[in-house]
Structure 1
């Protein structure tokens, strides 16, 4: 299937590894010019070179911290007119909701709500003028199925979800879409951290903790980053112009609700 986005400019945030890099790879394979972002310039350039070698795509980088005003300004300056924006950032830590401090809440809101909102504000007006824009926010299953130990993630990302839903109706007529991808149990470094945390809490091996978590997934396996990235690439495509304001779950069928 030709997604119709060859030659489009794509900015993928927090993309030196994990889901961000997987999404950047899928877009590069579709012929997009990709800008990678991360905080560690050395790691970032290594990922970029690997992506160039693998896909032959034009890949640039911008080493910048999404969570700072200066970092976001550097990102905008490096890729001022993207056709595609994939918002991604490290998730806040799990923990006891009653013990989170003000600083914890502010950090979660800055990284998982304000940073992507401010990039949407920076780029979507230009997308509207050019009559093409695709924004995909990598959020979390916790937006629709909150758990008490993930309240930092739930609260901040629900705010981003509401913002994007609100503006999606306004910009749809200009062929600009905003959608959210909600991962659950995709096999990345984040899940390795969650498995190790579970093992420590339960006093079991990491292998046993992984089996326990796997059994909570309807598909009885973890998803691959490539499966997640394929969903992202489709939502970024020319073919997905009639899909906007949606929360698309990539969770192996685990979510039990209807909406």
Structure 2
């Protein structure tokens, strides 16, 4: 299927590795020009070089913290009129609710809700004026299945979810869509971090921790990053203009709810 995004420009926040990198890979393969972002210069440079070599599209690297005003300005300087935006960021450290400080709540709300919304605020008018826009946020399965260990994950992200849903109703008439992807248990560094946490808490080996994680997934395996990237690419496609305001679970069939 031709996704109709060849020549489109994309800013992908936090895309030098992990699921963000997989998203960049999938749309670059479809011919989109991409801005790769991350805080680690080596990771960004590696991703830029590999994407250029593999797909022959324009790839720009921006080493910046996208949760800051300076970082957002740097990204928009590299691509002032993006057609596609990926909202992404580092997941918060798991912690029990009764251990969380006011500062932890404030910091996480800034990173996971306020900063992404400020970026949307900057790009949305131009997308509406040009008559094309695709905004996709990487959220978390915890948004629909909260866990007491992950309050910092699902709390601020639910705020982001609500605002994006409201905005989606207002801009879809301009062929601008806003959707979220809700991943669970993809084979990335985040799951290695979660396995190491389980090792420390339970006194088990890495292999045992990984097996426990896989046992929670109905598919019987961790998700592959490229599967996630291809779902992102479809949401960005010209064919997905009637799909907006949705929160798509990517969890190997593990969500227990109906809706």
Q: TM-score range by the shorter chain?
A: over 0.9
Asked whether the equivalents of residues 199 and 206 of structure 2 are also in contact (C-alpha less than 8 Å), the reply is: yes
1:41 to partner: Cα distance: 2.3
Show the counterpart of 1:74: 74
Q: In the alignment, what sits opposite 2:249?
A: 249
Partner of 1:112: 112
TM-superposed deviation, 1:42:
2.9
Runs of 4+ residues over 4 Å off in structure 1: none
Distance (Å, rounded) in 1 between the aligned partners of 2:116 and 2:67: 9
The one-character-per-residue Cα deviations of 1:22-78 (angstroms, maximum 9, x if unpaired) are 100101000000011111223211210011111111101111111212111211222
Whole-Å Cα distance in 2 between the matches of residues 40 and 210 of structure 1? Answer: 27
Partner of 1:215: 215
> Could you tell me whether the CA contact under 8 Å between 2:67 and 2:116 is conserved in 1?
no
TM-score of the pair, normalised by structure 2: 0.98
Deviation at 1:111, TM superposition (A): 1.1
**Matched position secondary structure for 1:85:** strand
Instruction: Give the match's secondary structure for 1:46.
Output: helix
Partner of 2:166: 166
Q: How far apart in 1 are the matches of 2:250 and 2:128?
A: 28
Distance 1:179 1:72 in 2: 20
Cα separation, 1, equivalents of 2:54 and 2:159: 37
Structure 1: distance between partners of 2:214 and 2:200 = 17
For each residue in 1:100-145, what CA deviation from the matched residue of structure 2 results, as whole angstroms up to 9, or x when unmatched?
1111111111111111111110001100000000000000001110
Q: Which residue of 2 aligns with 1:34?
A: 34
Q: Name the structure 1 match of 2:83.
A: 83
**In structure 2, how many angstroms separate the alpha carbons of the residues matched to 1:115 and 1:94?**
20
Runs of at least 5 residues in structure 2 that lack an aligned partner in the other structure: none
Aligned to 1:100: 100
Structure 1: gaps spanning 5 or more residues: none
Partner SS, residue 43 of structure 2: helix
- In 1: Cα distance, 2:99 partner to 2:113 partner: 21
Give the distance between the partners of 1:143 and 1:208, measured in 2 at CA. Answer: 27
Task: State the alpha-carbon separation in 2 of the partners of residues 179 and 67 from structure 1.
Answer: 20
Q: Residue 43 of structure 2 corresponds to which residue in structure 1?
A: 43
User: Alpha-carbon deviations, 1:147-192, whole Å to 9, x = none?
Assistant: 0010001011111100000010000100000000000000000000
RMSD over aligned CA atoms reads 0.8
- The CA distance in 2 between the partners of 1:69 and 1:35, in whole Å, is 17
CA distance in 1, matches of 2:222, 2:86: 22
> Where does 1:134-153 land on structure 2 (aligned, <5 Å)?
134-153=134-153
- For residues 206-248 of structure 1, what are the alpha-carbon distances to aligned partners after superposition, in whole Å with 9 as ceiling and x for unaligned? 1011111111101010000000011000000001000000000
Provide, for residues 74-113 of structure 1, a one-character-per-residue CA deviation record: whole Å limited to 9, x for no partner.
1122211000001110011101111111111111111111
Number of aligned residue pairs: 259
Instruction: Please state if 1:56 is matched with 2:49.
Output: no
Match of 1:178 in 2: 178
